[in-house]
Amino acid sequence: MGILLALIPAVAWGSLVFVSVKLGGNAYSQTVGITVGSLLFAIGVFFIKSPELTLFVWGIGFISGVFWAVGQVNQLASVKFIGVSKTVPISTGMQLIGTTLFGVLVFKEWKTTETILLGSGAVLALIIGVVLTSFTQKSEGDEDSQLKKGLLTLLLSSCGYIAYVVILRWFNIDGWEAILPQAIGMFIGAVVITFRHKPFNKYTVRNILTGLMWASGNLGLLLALPRIGVATSFSLSQTGIVISTLGGLFFLGEKKSKKQILLVIAGCVLIIIGGVLLGFTKD
């Protein structure tokens, strides 16, 4: 059951950046729109499930949502530097490596020699995949400079995303309890971060759809965390990157040489393989 729950965000999140870019707007209006959709979803779920929320749960859930806002704003901002087809796989690889390290070193989720070897091979595949997807030809003007800006932005984004997942696991907050406080933290965090950029416009309204998509995936992940652990659940949740990556290459018309396209696709395959292998490390 935990594996199936972790695959819900694989589909929902795998298409999120691609859909958000198609709907239009900048990183700020897109992020706020996503949080509005997520908040509406969370309110609906809260009235259906009605979990008892303590002040502690409210606080941790809220902080988790703020970390997510940091991650999402910077992920969408990196698209203008390196495009969807690079942003998604590199971001995914960074997040997988970070959450896996936490799962293994902090939560002790790899307990046998077999899982350690399998997991180490998976992390190696992830690293190679990230390197391949970030390949840039030297002849392409200022693309190296753009890549550096994109990678720095994604590093900050990944720190936010990793913290948003790990903090709930650290304090053993149940997914049903976390969803509303987290959504409120996401919305307030996004508004504070983006306020000076005037994010409220028609694109904010459009991106409520992506917020509903994100929220459905988030619920699947939150419910999977206590069942199969951070390393496995988050890894499986990220295997839908092929949707956004191929969408960026073939539907958004991002310009790439044949060599770059092949390397990006190869990198995506390795990241997916790494994610799946991490899934098998669960006892």
According to the model, what pLDDT value does residue 272 have?
A: 82
Rounded Cα–Cα distance for residues 136 and 142 (Å)? 10
pLDDT digits (tens, 9 = 90+) for 261-271: 888 889 888 88
Where residue 116 falls (left for φ over 0; alpha for ψ -120 to 50; beta otherwise) is: alpha
Distances (CA, A) of 169 to 47, 111, 166, 229: 24, 18, 5, 8
Tokens coding 65: 């949502």
What mean pLDDT is predicted for residues 62-88?
91
Residue 242 pLDDT more than 60?
Answer: yes
Which sequence spans correspond to the domains of the chain? 1-281
pTM value is: 0.82
To 5 degrees, how large is the angle CA 76–CA 13–CA 48?
A: 115
According to the model, what pLDDT value does residue 10 have?
A: 80
Rounded Cα–Cα distance for residues 210 and 190 (Å)? 15
Rounded Cα–Cα distance for residues 88 and 240 (Å)? 10
What mean pLDDT is predicted for residues 68-94?
88
User: Which tops the pLDDT comparison, 149 or 145?
Assistant: 149
Confidence band for 139, pLDDT divided at 50, 70 and 90: very low
Helix extents (H) in the chain:
2-14, 16-23, 27-49, 55-82, 84-101, 113-133, 143-170, 175-194, 202-206, 208-228, 230-237, 241-250, 258-279
What mean pLDDT is predicted for residues 231-235?
68
Average pLDDT of the chain, as a whole number = 85
pLDDT digits (tens, 9 = 90+) for 187-217: 999 999 999 999 999 999 999 999 999 888 8
Tokens coding 119: 């997991």
pLDDT digits (tens, 9 = 90+) for 5-46: 877 888 887 788 878 888 999 999 999 999 999 999 999 989
3-class secondary-structure state, position 11: helix
Q: Decide: 84 and 243 in contact? Cβ < 8 Å.
A: no
Lowest mean pLDDT among 109-113, 147-151, 156-160, 196-200: 109-113
Confidence band for 220, pLDDT divided at 50, 70 and 90: confident
Percent of the chain surpassing pLDDT 90: 35
